[in-house]
Amino acid sequence: MGELSKLSAIVLAGGQSRRLGRDKALLLWQGRTLIEHIVAQLKELSDDVLVITGTERRYQELLDVPIFADEIKNIGPMGGLYTGLKRARYEHSLVVACDMPLFTKAITDLLESELDSSVWAIVPKVHGHRVPTLAIYHRGCLLTIEQLLAHGRTSLQALLDAVPVKIIPDERVREADPELRTFLNLNTLSDWEKLAHRAQ
């Protein structure tokens, strides 16, 4: 990314953290909450950072960026993406899940380097799987999301099957992030402890 990219940044923070047993966005990470850490990183990349918090609007006391609850409730990350794309200032948005504290600028640079007017999503593929919660999306996805929801389809993978997409293969992802640190996420307290250790 450039000094300040013409790219919005959307943090998906609407998960229920059921396996963790507490709100993962409020875990302490390097002296502040995880959500504050993610937002601070993204503010270095974009002047339009938004946080989408699921069914209820949360974290107002912690953050100085726009915060929105899902416009369409109880459909998981698709609801967060839909809300974020509607509210974003720019045509393209970098989407980051709030439980990926080790995401690197090298990966976001890689995704942005592949921006292409012919595609609506730029998505890394790791271990044979597309990673839709660290990707770039075009606002044009909004209509497709509405069409998918009308047919009861709520997964981000279904969206990737329905729009023009560019997949960044595993080998290119590893060139930017050899240890794939970016793609380590927090689902359990054990995950958190391991990630905190790796960050040190």
In a domain, 163, yes or no: yes
Residue 118 corresponds to which amino acid? S
Least confident residue range of 104-108, 136-140, 145-149? 104-108
Residue for token pair 């593929």: 125
In a domain, 199, yes or no: no
> Computed from CA positions of residues 183, 188, 189, 194, in that sequence, does the dihedral angle turn out positive or negative?
negative
- Alpha-carbon distance of 24 to 171, in angstroms, equals 30
> Computed from CA positions of residues 44, 49, 53, 54, in that sequence, does the dihedral angle turn out positive or negative?
negative
Least confident residue range of 6-10, 107-111, 174-178, 182-186? 182-186
Res 2: pLDDT: 42
In a domain, 200, yes or no: no
**Average model confidence (pLDDT) across the chain:** 90
Res 165: pLDDT: 98
Q: Is 8 helix (H, G, I), strand (E, B) or coil?
A: strand
Quote the domain boundaries for residue 106: 8-192
121, β-bridge pairs: 137, 165
In a domain, 33, yes or no: yes
Res 146: pLDDT: 97
Residue for token pair 């609506």: 120
In a domain, 198, yes or no: no
Res 197: pLDDT: 66
Res 20: pLDDT: 59
Residue for token pair 């938004």: 50
pLDDT digit string, tens, across residues 154-196: 999 999 999 999 999 999 999 999 999 899 877 667 777 766 6
**Confidence check: pLDDT of 14 > 50:** yes
Res 178: pLDDT: 95
Short-list 52, 3, 22, 72, CA closest to 189: 22
In a domain, 46, yes or no: yes
Q: Quick one: average pLDDT of 72-90?
A: 96
Q: Quick one: average pLDDT of 109-128?
A: 95
Kindly indicate the confidence band of residue 1, based on its pLDDT and cuts at 50, 70 and 90: very low
Q: Quick one: average pLDDT of 107-124?
A: 95
- Alpha-carbon distance of 164 to 39, in angstroms, equals 28
In a domain, 2, yes or no: no
pLDDT digit string, tens, across residues 35-72: 999 999 999 999 999 999 989 999 999 999 999 999 99
Kindly indicate the confidence band of residue 145, based on its pLDDT and cuts at 50, 70 and 90: very high
CATH number of the domain to which 138 belongs: 3.90.550.10
Task: Give the chain's domain count.
Answer: 1
In a domain, 35, yes or no: yes
